[in-house]
Structure 1
């Protein structure tokens, strides 16, 4: 740890000095307003008015609601990364996993075999088992509604106001399954403005994306906004057996928001969304290690495979939420009522051969309902608080069949989850500089689990029924102090909790076991600063996670899945995030993160498995750099954006298989847009994975079945975006 700490503290010091030197190179008094991205929630106009007066070059102020009320991101004692709609566009963020280019210490990838599956690890805390009986460790929220499953969680980024990424446990305010952190996806709010916007994109691999965004006012005070989109791309992996390209994308989605006053003191917002994904089955590529230990493709290319089934994968998901905000004078009352559903049927060939070594069939039906009531104080003074009640109910049912060298038994699996919580968090300002934050949450979760196994001949093999309940208090303490007007230091102690459950992947009575809850105690200290008249923003933090009862998912050499609580771990590291508005036209940013992870508290019998071993999905070092430059032309702006991300190697499974390890890699992307000031259109040229990496985003190494496959990331892609406002 000391090596990483010293190396990265030195790197951050050099980076800050570089930014400060660049910022001092221009006199603020003679500068024009920044053309950088606007504050969160604002949208850059298609045309820009001429500058009327000279102002200081500054970064835009960013407002977030990470603590359930609006605050400056630099005043919240939490590690947060946020991008608004313009920044997301310029960084070419089209899916949630593209956020990895700007967030330290995060692994965000498409989950194994699922085009719409999302795997997230933050600071080494996460879950890669997509079965509904396993819970994610990083909470995903769409307009403050919890998305409970990894399947269907790979949200396309459109019609978005901003995305907030909160690192570290967020259990006090955000509740269940946020031990690693939380991602908040916030769509555009209706404002009464009237517009219709067309977005189109074409690129290699047959990419054809089309979207429409609209906003209007109905009658006197009903505001409506929304969007529809279609995303299409041909496959980038070639199936030699059937001479076809696979791993394509075909997705259609729509969202709409209706907002209106409801009586004299209440404002109501209705959100609706729908997604249909018919991209088809996702296939892996067979690989092996050569005599020098180098990973090589079995078929000569990292983008060639073989199959013996056409496969299928169809997903439909939908959701609705009604939010009411009522001004009660000293407090405001917020009610959030939601309902969501998901249907996903697929048959996947997981082995990369023309044999039926391992095929998987699933047909998941998920329904979830939640209600949350929040009271938020509105009194002025040193004390402010928020409290609430949360209730959640989810049902899942799914026939699952593992075809291993022939048709297997079908397990009809169902589970019902019920969760309830009471929470409160407040802060008290002792002085203008010193503030104490305290919070608590009490959670109760109950799960009822049932499996009926049917043999291929139709006879019943066995029935397993289990039920369990978990109760847990979580709490938070944080102290922050303003060392100067724009320099805040903070220290926090936070706990997190993820309930236990049952191994839904088990194929025998013995394998359908239970596992206990996992818990986390997080220590963090950091500094947030806005320097040089807000031209430089520099944040740095140190964290330590004491991780107990880790829910480890693994696959044995015979293809049997298991989930255990065999060990705990300590994870610690340093994170840095910085931005600088160098001139009115040039903004740069960057950061890094380290993870020093060690297993602990394992039994002597497990020492060979855990002693001195790395944790999966926990790269020791990552860094990122980005830049945006706005070049003024006669009547237009040429906007250049580029980003690079370096990631140390990390392992994709508990056994630390070198075959499906993600190697050290450097990824880069760039975008150039031409935006006329007095026109309603713009055009952009972009490129992703400019280094043309073919790294693994996941895979299977199952020796007993002769399976060694990876799911390679997309090769280099490029294309053109066109936008028009009617």
Structure 2
């Protein structure tokens, strides 16, 4: 059985110590038996921890993996009070993981300046999210709360060989706990700022010697950081930035023999948190509502409810054909449904309201063959993905409709689907060239097919996605269909060969150097906002990233670890959306082309220093120099191409990030204690690529935690203080105003955008919070 075992060392009572963190053993593709893994984990170690990861889909020490990777164990997550995947960004250099704009569960992910900001159906991510090797195709619901997790791995740089398309920036792997085979039950409760009240229950039970069942349940609740201010929300929840999430997971594991292993896992998440209202940075010219005093307060003319529903089923079968060969099959079926209310203008008027529905389904199959024999190892497989991604949104411009046309309202409706299949075959092998030198060669061939439909039209009424969306509203499908024609019904296919070549030099037992070249691609797509049949640029070819890395993995004695990476990347055929001139404020004219190129180079450094038996320091630093080198557009007057890359910046990518942390462990008659603190700094960054009006200045977050473990090992408690200085920092926004190029800083010269108002909106990260968590394990 493939187990994950945590063994705390340097204590004669088996109590936890921060000086020896988890010994992590991978879940998938292991060539070791359960007994061998357990014996290895039982061996007490001193000094630097041994961390096992599955970055290359096989079990390896993190110090032997020639890939830029950060692994965060369950112990580290708990002791730092990290509750969701977005908080991992502080522990991984050159990484951005943030909640996206008007929702609480949609993820914005960038690594090394590569990602995807727009979460609309049809647009593919640039950073892949995986749960136990199952790919999550859409960003909706990807802000995963941490429940029953063993570790989280962040792989930086293109992962185009083993992980495939849409990992041109990197991959985030969420690895859940495997079962030990013993009866276990734990309960954990948290209370904190803004009336936080969380409950997590996890456990496992052996039904027989071969069959085990595991479960997890979480109820996560918090009042809002702010509120919706207007008085016309009778009967609606006024909380803004609140949290109301339930999550459940059930797992069955069956091991009929030493060579066979089966796992069936089901999970479901319901996020009923309110729609997230933004903060107006400019006064409205159409309403006299004042700019709120708090960045977490807002106004809205939409319902405040919001919903994200996720459900998934996965099946894994593993067969150790021999001591050197393992055959593995992974199946998954996932679906998500998200009706959402996003008020772009954030006023009590229907200036620019966008209620929307996202509806996604995906099925994947992967057959994998792993081979390890002496100086040669191979990971190979076949992969098939079938996904349906549909959606609909209404751009309600009611004030504009009444003012200009004298009608009950004005709405542009856009709907459609972007359905795709992807087939791939891949192989990656590593082999010894000599006692010191080794080489890695990998390749993946992918074939994508996509069918897309887009319906786009202007309706002279105020319409919503469904009947009952607002009280008393009835949607007249026949009338709407007459004004919302199908403007796109097309299909296309793309194929790509993506290689990886690497050379490793093992200078000594504790120092390894590597050099590698890797390529990845983001899938081609159609324009989900296509507006007119006479606009030919509705499809874009795949984006390509070529990356080179030089790295060092090193342990210096028993107390210093230094992992360094230098990288450079060339991002070609960037899918660029240009705004076409329209007839008025109601137009959503857009053109999708491969018009952009960018380059980046940078350094990533991660250090761990054991200053004494009680004190540990950690430091990670990321520095990147990333710029657009070409963005081609067409002059609407002359029809000629011109380069406007000087108006573009790489979004969501600070030049400098660093995190400095310390852990201090001590004990007394009351038990074991671990104190940790960290300071995380992000340099200034823009939120939009073209003519960004939203720039977040550099800021730092100071966090502290004190953890206690009882002498018996049954009770735990943690006090977690986050953002102690109460920094206000932007994580998303909307800009629908046009600055005057003669003086872009003069807001009095801004021209109103879509909806006819000054829509410049920002969303903010969490304020200062204090959380007390208490847990008991049977």
Q: In structure 2, the residue corresponding to 1:39 is in which secondary structure?
A: coil
Deviation by residue 1:541-560 (Cα, 9 ceiling, x = unmatched): 11000110112457789573
1:210 maps to which of 199, 203, 207: 199
Q: CA deviation at 1:151?
A: 0.5
Q: In structure 2, the residue corresponding to 1:595 is in which secondary structure?
A: strand
Q: CA deviation at 1:616?
A: 1.3
Q: In structure 1, the residue corresponding to 2:129 is in which secondary structure?
A: strand
Q: 1:681 and 1:568, CA in 2 relative to 1: closer, same or farther beyond 3 A?
A: same
Q: CA deviation at 1:288?
A: 3.6
**Match in the other structure for 1:579:** 608
Contact 1:162 1:187 in 2 (8 A): yes
2:241 matches 1:247: yes
1:38 maps to which of 22, 29, 45: 22
Contact 1:191 1:223 in 2 (8 A): no
Deviation by residue 1:442-493 (Cα, 9 ceiling, x = unmatched): 0000110012346454214321201110100000000010112211000000
Alpha-carbon distance in 1 for matches of 2:100, 2:132: 23
- Unaligned 5+ segments in structure 1 are 1-31, 43-53, 290-296
After TM superposition, list the pairs within 5 Å mapping 1:87-166 onto structure 2.
Answer: 87-166=76-155
**Match in the other structure for 1:530:** 555
**Match in the other structure for 1:434:** 437
| Of 132-141 and 408-417, the range deviating more from structure 2 | 408-417
Q: In structure 2, the residue corresponding to 1:617 is in which secondary structure?
A: coil
Give aligned pairs, total. 675
**Match in the other structure for 1:11:** none
2:297 matches 1:268: no
Contact 1:95 1:157 in 2 (8 A): yes
**Match in the other structure for 2:353:** 359
2:309 matches 1:316: yes
After TM superposition, list the pairs within 5 Å mapping 1:161-240 onto structure 2.
Answer: 161-240=150-229
Deviation by residue 1:421-454 (Cα, 9 ceiling, x = unmatched): 0000001101221110000000000110012346
After TM superposition, list the pairs within 5 Å mapping 1:359-398 onto structure 2.
Answer: 359-378=353-372, 380-398=373-391
RMSD: 2.3
Q: In structure 2, the residue corresponding to 1:66 is in which secondary structure?
A: coil
2:572 matches 1:569: no
Alpha-carbon distance in 2 for matches of 1:156, 1:55: 32
After TM superposition, list the pairs within 5 Å mapping 1:289-688 onto structure 2.
Answer: 298-329=291-322, 330-378=324-372, 380-405=373-398, 406-453=409-456, 455=459, 456=461, 457-458=479-480, 459-463=482-486, 464-509=488-533, 513-533=538-558, 535-553=559-577, 560=588, 563-603=592-632, 609-611=644-646, 613-658=648-693, 660-678=694-712, 680-688=714-722
Alpha-carbon distance in 2 for matches of 1:570, 1:412: 34
Q: 1:274 and 1:676, CA in 2 relative to 1: closer, same or farther beyond 3 A?
A: same
Deviation by residue 1:300-332 (Cα, 9 ceiling, x = unmatched): 332322222333311111111111111112421
Q: 1:601 and 1:286, CA in 2 relative to 1: closer, same or farther beyond 3 A?
A: closer
| Of 642-651 and 610-619, the range deviating more from structure 2 | 610-619
Alpha-carbon distance in 1 for matches of 2:200, 2:310: 19
Alpha-carbon distance in 2 for matches of 1:370, 1:114: 27
Q: CA deviation at 1:579?
A: 0.7
Q: 1:555 and 1:350, CA in 2 relative to 1: closer, same or farther beyond 3 A?
A: farther
Q: CA deviation at 1:78?
A: 0.3
Deviation by residue 1:389-438 (Cα, 9 ceiling, x = unmatched): 00000012223211123441433311211000000000110122111000
Contact 2:647 2:691 in 1 (8 A): no
Q: CA deviation at 1:238?
A: 2.2
Q: 1:555 and 1:620, CA in 2 relative to 1: closer, same or farther beyond 3 A?
A: farther
**Match in the other structure for 1:293:** none
Alpha-carbon distance in 2 for matches of 1:526, 1:205: 44
Q: In structure 1, the residue corresponding to 2:78 is in which secondary structure?
A: helix
1:86 maps to which of 64, 75, 80: 75
Q: In structure 1, the residue corresponding to 2:55 is in which secondary structure?
A: coil
Alpha-carbon distance in 1 for matches of 2:580, 2:84: 32
Q: CA deviation at 1:364?
A: 1.9
Q: In structure 2, the residue corresponding to 1:101 is in which secondary structure?
A: helix
Contact 1:121 1:127 in 2 (8 A): yes
Q: 1:210 and 1:553, CA in 2 relative to 1: closer, same or farther beyond 3 A?
A: farther
Q: 1:136 and 1:234, CA in 2 relative to 1: closer, same or farther beyond 3 A?
A: same
Deviation by residue 1:273-297 (Cα, 9 ceiling, x = unmatched): 10011112111010149xxxxxxx9
TM-score, L = length of structure 1: 0.89
| Of 265-274 and 297-306, the range deviating more from structure 2 | 297-306
Q: 1:509 and 1:633, CA in 2 relative to 1: closer, same or farther beyond 3 A?
A: farther
Q: CA deviation at 1:611?
A: 2.7
Contact 1:648 1:664 in 2 (8 A): yes
Q: In structure 1, the residue corresponding to 2:411 is in which secondary structure?
A: coil
Alpha-carbon distance in 1 for matches of 2:112, 2:252: 37
After TM superposition, list the pairs within 5 Å mapping 1:706-725 onto structure 2.
Answer: 706-725=758-777
Alpha-carbon distance in 1 for matches of 2:580, 2:675: 48
Alpha-carbon distance in 2 for matches of 1:622, 1:554: 31
| Of 354-363 and 561-570, the range deviating more from structure 2 | 561-570
Alpha-carbon distance in 2 for matches of 1:317, 1:508: 34
Q: CA deviation at 1:182?
A: 0.4
Contact 1:36 1:585 in 2 (8 A): no
Alpha-carbon distance in 1 for matches of 2:318, 2:185: 28
Contact 1:639 1:672 in 2 (8 A): yes
Deviation by residue 1:650-670 (Cα, 9 ceiling, x = unmatched): 111112423x22221101211
Contact 1:518 1:549 in 2 (8 A): yes
- Unaligned 5+ segments in structure 2 are 1-15, 27-42, 284-289, 399-408, 462-478, 635-640, 738-752
Alpha-carbon distance in 2 for matches of 1:81, 1:303: 32
Contact 1:307 1:349 in 2 (8 A): yes
Q: In structure 2, the residue corresponding to 1:86 is in which secondary structure?
A: helix
Q: 1:33 and 1:433, CA in 2 relative to 1: closer, same or farther beyond 3 A?
A: farther
Q: CA deviation at 1:220?
A: 2.4
Q: CA deviation at 1:150?
A: 0.4
Alpha-carbon distance in 2 for matches of 1:613, 1:398: 29
Deviation by residue 1:4-31 (Cα, 9 ceiling, x = unmatched): xxxxxxxxxxxxxxxxxxxxxxxxxxxx
Deviation by residue 1:109-132 (Cα, 9 ceiling, x = unmatched): 001112110011000000011112
Q: In structure 2, the residue corresponding to 1:308 is in which secondary structure?
A: coil
